[in-house]
Structure 1
């Protein structure tokens, strides 16, 4: 038995572990070992500068993986794909001169050092196709910008700390921009969507500016436009038409685990229990795609006879027939929506998100195994818009609709969410940690599918500096420099650079998904997961 290279194994919630390692070589070795021989229940393996995050389907699987990691000899050279990827760059970035001054190399020296290095793709980043490249000329190590840009263009070649990277799509970012490329870093039409995968070697080549036509470069490096919901399934007859889309309505299933190493988060329904319930009532498998409706307002017209069910945040359901007659149907029970009829969802009486399931399940393109819309990465069908046509799959002949079910109890004035402490609790004094679990937090209007932004007494760190980016999980409670926590939800980034003070237990995340702005929440520490490791 050996734990060579492993400094610590920390709980990252009740279904994930964060393994601290003593070198990047050990990081790559552990990632390669787990990906080459995945264990039962293993979902995702996310490598970072000095950690590997492993998520699992159950708490027992997480504990088994932790025990297995302790037996691995990470001194062995991993079998990784070390293919060389050449990337042509026009070195005219906005920060090139500043980097030249910071390093003392001058602009031409920066270009020479950048192209003179063979970089190693160490780990994936916060967005699909973004890969941290290590092993470059140490003279190129520069700090991130004091104020991040709100938008970095696709194809930007950048330096941050000891790493280099290429931004695959327009996104905010704080790295120093030294050039641009027309290489397509992320393309779902390729067998391997990411141009650069962990383990690959990367060589940058300087080219003349005239080698890139600006319009062609922009087209090549921008993220492909998300297909309109319901339009990409060729040959499928549409079953519903969107009359009104409400504040935000998206197609969701149970998500796409297994691609976090490429920068793709699991995404999927925010309240997974509610989607499962709606599918159960409509006679569908639990993971069938339905519609997640934010704050009501959705109106759907049936183009053929359908059977639907609605669960989640309680709303009034009104059906208008072809003659203008109206009738109401209940939540949590299957009902018919006949051709020509229109269903309208009212505003929730409590909660935030309602789920519409259609017998057979909605048809949308399967991308990395899921039909879900990911608002963070832009993967999946576009949010619903008026006029969109939604295809409906044929129901399995053996499936039956479910019996009506009772509504859950009303939410309390203060919602309590069980929380597994850490993995970065040591960034805060004991008094701050104790106060965090004892106080109430308020959900702010800036919350979305990426996470709940909370307001309360600011949490002060006990150390300066930055935490090296590492993998994060759904339910992680990150604390940025402002001291106001962010509770990550379905569309959270795969990696983050702020300390996580705790992770909400999986069974309580559905409650978090239903918290509207102004709701009050309290985190209740649960140390059982930590002690099990």
Structure 2
């Protein structure tokens, strides 16, 4: 058992086998140690996220060492048969790599009895393992930016089916029409840890399973009124709040506002508690008031214009303002940063899914992004405090072509990289690609990061701010909608105090990393202290 630092609020426990990992997860879940927020089991590791002011890594390390040994206490679930069309674009090359024909590879994949070891990456994404599948399948050198829902892939010792359209680096061998994740089901995930799975071949046209649109309505039982109508939603406008922690067991990440500080400020300015607000990516939103309102816009600075009776009035960011029925609010493009937050006093957020109204763009959980004609409601029953004082506009946020510096903490796989790579990580600037989004920032450097260890990394838990390095050597910095697990080594992670700043970095920016804590595995002696 080895303990590897991830950040100031998380660490990895590395274990010899998948069985050991699942056994520790069950034992630690039953122990309910104070301060633990989330456990993310993976192939050979267990990610432990904790609250720093309630406990620390050393105390948890000692407690984990003292846990009694035990096997997996998982309930056995029935066998699930999944029909698959074996037409994946990686199938021919993968068969050749393994020294098999396509038919031999397909037949062997069907004959194996698979079992769900754990879930991760995205809600409903199950990692299927089998002792009868000894093959280690390498991931793609560069992950695909989009893999369709229902795609069946192989990576390492695992099989897995993508529940939603998402990026990914697995080798694709087929697809299925079965829904891996359906929020309308009593148990949204079709494949749960412990379930046995068998694949059955089918033929026919290409089948793609897409999630149904979530209906955005005001919660029943509240007297709500249509307070605002969206005229133009801009590039992307979503509902966001603090997210949904504690859902890792079903493969659901925390998500939530990219800039938590700006989201909270918007609510404080209008007197709301920490309720969902609109996250506006890049600006461009226009809306019309259906009644008198009090609003505030925070975060990425934009030109705010109130249109009333044909006249245009400039408004201030980071300050509460009033609108009357019939007035329009026009939010211009973001001059700096990425996301602005619009809070409405007494807002009635859309129904929660899994305890949150946040839209997770990777998992497709939460209310759909806003569209033209969409309605926003308020409720007189919503408790509000006094309107807050104006705040300083966030003109310090980065703009395209500028350089921003992020503090980072080395680990957990820093020792997988050469000394030159560690030097390059902090010495050269990294350009933020246009392909960046709420899932992560894709970074491009003049010189890629070289690994000193080239073996496949079994999938392991990741955190917000993790800097993952695929085989191409060009890093990806994970943001709020990042996958729960990943199969590329994490060289470092953005320190907690710079997570909001990382979420506001626009494409075209240059990022420099400043190392504030070097890689140091938790010493064994500390783990044995009484």
Q: Are positions 1:470 and 2:460 aligned together?
A: yes
Alignment map for 1:126-525 (pairs within 5 Å): 126-138=121-133, 142-144=137-139, 152-173=147-168, 175-177=170-172, 180-198=175-193, 200-204=194-198, 206=200, 209=203, 218=208, 221-227=209-215, 230-231=216-217, 233=219, 236-286=224-274, 288-321=275-308, 323-394=309-380, 396-397=382-383, 399-408=385-394, 410-411=396-397, 414-458=403-447, 459-525=449-515
Alpha carbons of 1:332 and 1:194: their partners in 2 closer, same or farther (altered >3 Å)? same
The match for 2:67 is: 72
SS of equivalent residue, structure 1 residue 29: helix
Alignment map for 1:26-105 (pairs within 5 Å): 26-58=20-52, 60-63=54-57, 64-73=59-68, 75-90=69-84, 92-94=86-88
Matches of 2:501 and 2:387 in 1, distance apart?
26
C-alpha contact 1:128 1:262 (8 A) present in aligned 2: yes
Matches of 1:103 and 1:532 in 2, distance apart?
39
Matches of 1:45 and 1:38 in 2, distance apart?
11
Q: 1:59 deviation in Å? A: 6.0
Matches of 2:420 and 2:91 in 1, distance apart?
44
Q: 1:402 deviation in Å? A: 1.1
C-alpha contact 1:12 1:18 (8 A) present in aligned 2: yes
Alpha carbons of 1:300 and 1:529: their partners in 2 closer, same or farther (altered >3 Å)? farther
Q: 1:97 deviation in Å? A: 7.0
C-alpha contact 2:301 2:394 (8 A) present in aligned 1: no
Matches of 1:414 and 1:328 in 2, distance apart?
30
C-alpha contact 1:441 1:455 (8 A) present in aligned 2: yes
SS of equivalent residue, structure 1 residue 416: strand
Matches of 1:208 and 1:353 in 2, distance apart?
45
Alpha carbons of 1:501 and 1:108: their partners in 2 closer, same or farther (altered >3 Å)? closer
Q: Are positions 1:9 and 2:18 aligned together?
A: no
C-alpha contact 2:439 2:482 (8 A) present in aligned 1: yes
Matches of 1:471 and 1:179 in 2, distance apart?
26
From 100, 124, 133, the equivalent of 2:119 is 124
Matches of 1:411 and 1:167 in 2, distance apart?
35
SS of equivalent residue, structure 1 residue 419: strand
C-alpha contact 2:119 2:125 (8 A) present in aligned 1: yes
Matches of 1:254 and 1:517 in 2, distance apart?
24
Matches of 1:41 and 1:456 in 2, distance apart?
38
Matches of 1:101 and 1:439 in 2, distance apart?
39
May I ask how many residue pairs the two structures share in their alignment?
515
- Of 505-514 and 96-105, deviating more is 96-105
Q: 1:521 deviation in Å? A: 2.9
From 7, 12, 24, the equivalent of 2:18 is 24
1:390-434 deviation line (CA, Å, top 9, x unaligned):
223445446222122233563586432221111111122234313
The match for 1:3 is: none
Alpha-carbon RMSD across the aligned residues, in angstroms, is: 3.0
Q: 1:223 deviation in Å? A: 2.2
Q: 1:69 deviation in Å? A: 1.9
SS of equivalent residue, structure 1 residue 137: coil
Q: Which ranges of structure 2 fall in alignment gaps of 5 or more residues?
A: 524-530
Matches of 2:121 and 2:458 in 1, distance apart?
13
C-alpha contact 1:114 1:140 (8 A) present in aligned 2: no
Matches of 1:201 and 1:105 in 2, distance apart?
29
SS of equivalent residue, structure 1 residue 420: strand
Q: 1:172 deviation in Å? A: 4.9
Matches of 1:312 and 1:284 in 2, distance apart?
17
C-alpha contact 1:14 1:529 (8 A) present in aligned 2: no
1:288-330 deviation line (CA, Å, top 9, x unaligned):
1111112221112111221111111222221112x21332332
